[in-house]
Amino acid sequence: MVDPLNAWWAQQLVLCDWAFTPDPLTVPAEAAVERLAALGVTDRGELGWCLLEALGTGGSSVDPARLLAGLEILALGGAASWIGETRARAWAQRLAEEVSAHHSTLDAWLEALRHARSAEGWVRGDDGFFDACEALSALEHDGDGVTWDMLREWLATHATPLELWPTAPEDQVWRLRAAFSPVVELPAGPQDWQGLEAWLEEDWQIRNREDLVRSLLWLASQGDRQAWDLDAGRLVEADGATRRQWWEALEGGERDYGRVLQGFLDQGEPLEWAAWDWLRLIDMAWAGACLGWLETQEARDFAAHGADLVLRRYSDWAALARAFQRGRSLFEGRNLLPSLEADWLLLLHSPVSPWRPALQGLILEELLEASRVALRAWRGDPRHWILALAAVREPEFGARQGPLPDLPAARREEARGYLVETLDLHADEGVEALSRYWLPAQAHHLNQLAADAAHGALPPAETPFGHPIADELASRDALRQASRHAATIHMAEKFAFHLQMAMDSGDFDAGRLARLAEALQGSLCRFYPDARRLLQAWAHWESLLPEPEQPPMVAEIRWHLEDPGSLFHWLDWRGGAWLEPGPRPTLAHFTAMALVGPLNSPAWSLPQPESERECAAIHDWVDGHYALHGESELGEFLEYLIEVGDRQEYQINYAPYTLNHGRLASEIATLESGECSEEEGAHLLRLQRVRDNEDGCNEVDLAAWDIAQAVDLAIAGRQLGWLGEVAFLKLLERAHGLAGKHYAGWEEFARGLYAGFSFFMGETPERESFLAGFRQALVAWLSGAPPLAGAWASIDFPGARPRHWAPLHIDTLPGDSRTLH
């Protein structure tokens, strides 16, 4: 039995210089592909556009010539197996419906075609078109073939919804790919995109599956939009002069981008363009499917992820199209918004557009959830935590997601240079050396300052040694703004960056670096339940304590907070057992290490044995200052400092003079009257200081001087390997107890330390400078201004009554009895 639709369709193809055949899809596949190429249809993507263009925006504006061309291209596409028979018939029926709706008779249809051909410059007889029209007209009038009335009757009895595009729920995501070309049939294959591999290599430097996956993950999480968003954010707040200065600093083609961006600002255009990245993500997922680089489900998951992000940001297709147009404008350096209506006319207004269904609700929630699981799996290893944190400082790390890339030699050398020049970290020190940059006590200190600041319980600004600088005091007081945010991220992000550079260098054991990354993940998951809490905490602490001489990264951090595609939102937040990248001291041990005071930099973590290179410098310091050459000598001297120390020398050799001023004056006069040896000169200096009660040396307990030296030397001994962990911790406990016996608080301890530092200082022309610097440091340690100068302001003195407020989280050191759990 003759199929009326097929027969009518075949009759129309006679007008395209086809020989009549009952089935329009019987052209040999190879010949069909050649004919399609001759018509400019080189792949199935272009076929989708041709079908969409055939119907235009519907109504009276439909071009009869395009309808006829659509019937021909559709027949060729079906014959070439680019489109299945069922889909081809659906499109043929839709085209037939459009023809029938606008032309009441065959003659009216043929007349409309002749007018269209005439408008194109057709000359009668040039391709047999006129003869074909005459033949069809004669057939119609004789009642042969499928007449116009028969067609209309058939269409009326088959008026059902047509599946012009893939309709399976899991395939709906490909409707978004129509921004580039409509997906008319599945599965994807080489026929969908001609020259795809060459395009990927030339425009994207993508040569294989691994490159493609990294690009997909980059588009989802960062893309071009991050840099544009940050530029726009800065320019919104800038005045005209600053904007001009910014534009003039751009180079080459970047100035075109800058001009477009400033135009958007001037016009009040929404500064949002994420669709540019997320629709390209969907397009690239389709490319991967076409090449077979991605399995069908993998491609679908990537595309659904792009759709998921789109659905979070845009309410409808029009908003999506305009945002994409803005992004494309910035990318190409020319404002394309004036052509928005023309560029998106078919997708937004065609009656057969794949965008006819509403954007919201297009994808089933279970499919979106499956894509979320898949995308988190791609970022599931701890390495992606390191990338996420490091990419805030260096956005280029965002392109490293997915399969581990091979780094060029130049990049590895750059990483080695950073480790050596910035951290003095060398490959022969091993992975363990990185633990020195894990500073849990620093986080405890900051958290405590913030809690105290929130309750107005910070130490007084006025100290016995002076007053802190106003800006530094303001920096300390402002910490109250972060009282609800754990401070570990402030330290951990720097550790992550160092860890990433160690990974890049290729000089450290990869397995042990991976274990450090896992420990970092576990630590952050313990203190922050999700990406939002972590990023909020980071932004607060970064605003309060930016890197010296560096602009704060608050804008960069908040970008990750606000962008739904940011890698932070797609990490594995489950964490594992809590293993830290470095040891966490108890509060008592941290307090004991703080007894060093300004004699050295604050000790924010327990010391560990160092490498030979680092030990050489420490050994020189120990030898130069104390003439100690090994474990036994160090042990004896530490015992001396704890049990006797310089304080006994003062008590025996100098304290008695305070009771006999005449004898003191006589002794000084005798030494001043003749030549003095070096030892006698030192004795004279100390006698003069006793006479003058310089820095209160006769009134305060000098044990602090011995205690500080003992702890300082013990830390050095631990780093040299001269003290084992047990011996080191025992020394800390003894120093802690000794301090508690001699002093009631940090201020009293500071007086003793300063008096000892002053009294036992040798002859030097820089004495006043050294004393002034030490006083300034003591001000900072006592007041906590600036916050990271020292630790005394955040911890209770050994044996003293607790005075600090409990932080509102668990980011504290073990042994803190005030922790809220």
- Residues 153-179: tens digit of each pLDDT: 999 999 999 999 999 999 999 999 999
* 278: nearest Cα among 180, 166, 401, 385: 180
> Which of 616, 631, 623, 614 is CA-nearest to residue 435?
614
Q: 508 or 673: whose pLDDT is higher? A: 508
CB 104 within 8 A of CB 140: no
Per-residue pLDDT, 122: 57
Reduced to 3 states (helix: H, G, I; strand: E, B; else coil), residue 401 is coil
Mean pLDDT (the chain, rounded): 94
Q: Are 359 and 316 in contact (CB under 8 A)?
A: yes
**Peptide bond preceding 583 in cis form (omega within 30 of 0):** no
Whether the upstream peptide bond of residue 786 has omega within 30° of 0, thus cis, is yes
Q: What digits encode the pLDDT tens for the residues 372-411?
A: 999 999 999 999 999 999 999 999 999 999 999 999 999 9
Q: What percent of the chain has pLDDT over 70?
A: 98
Distance, CA of 427 to CA of 410 (rounded, Å): 17
Return the pLDDT at 812: 75
Angle at which helices 488-505 and 531-544 pack, to 10 degrees? 100
What average pLDDT score do residues 546-552 get?
90
pLDDT at 213 over 80: yes
Q: Treating both helix axes as pointing N-terminal to C-terminal, what angle do 488-505 and 440-454 enclose, rounded to 10 degrees?
A: 160
Q: Would you state the pLDDT for residue 814?
A: 74
Yes or no: say if 177 and 282 are a contact pair by the CB < 8 Å rule: yes
- Find the range with the poorest average confidence among 37-46, 55-64, 98-107, 405-414: 55-64
Determine the average pLDDT of the residues in 280-297.
Answer: 98
User: What is the Cα–Cα distance from 706 to 276, expressed in whole angstroms?
Assistant: 66
Confidence check: pLDDT of 788 > 80: yes
Token pair listed for 289 = 């499917």
Do residues 591 and 798 lie in contact, with contact meaning Cβ atoms separated by under 8 Å?
yes
What is the reported pLDDT for 670?
87
422 exposed, middle or buried (CB, 10 Å; 0-12, 13-18, 19+)? exposed
Q: Who has greater pLDDT, 294 or 673?
A: 294
The pLDDT-based confidence of 128 (bands split at 50, 70, 90) is: confident
Hey, is 463 helix, strand or coil? strand
Percent of the chain scored above 90 by pLDDT? 88
pLDDT of residue 1: 56
pTM across the whole model:
0.93
678 pLDDT band, cuts 50/70/90, is: confident
pLDDT, mean of residues 559-579:
92
Q: Which one-letter amino acid corresponds to residue 795?
A: I
The structural domains of the chain, with segments of one domain joined by +, span: 4-157, 169-378, 383-570
Angle between the N-to-C axes of helices 488-505 and 409-423, in degrees from 0 to 180, rounded to the nearest 10: 130
Q: Report the pLDDT value the prediction gives residue 821, as an integer from 0 to 100.
A: 29
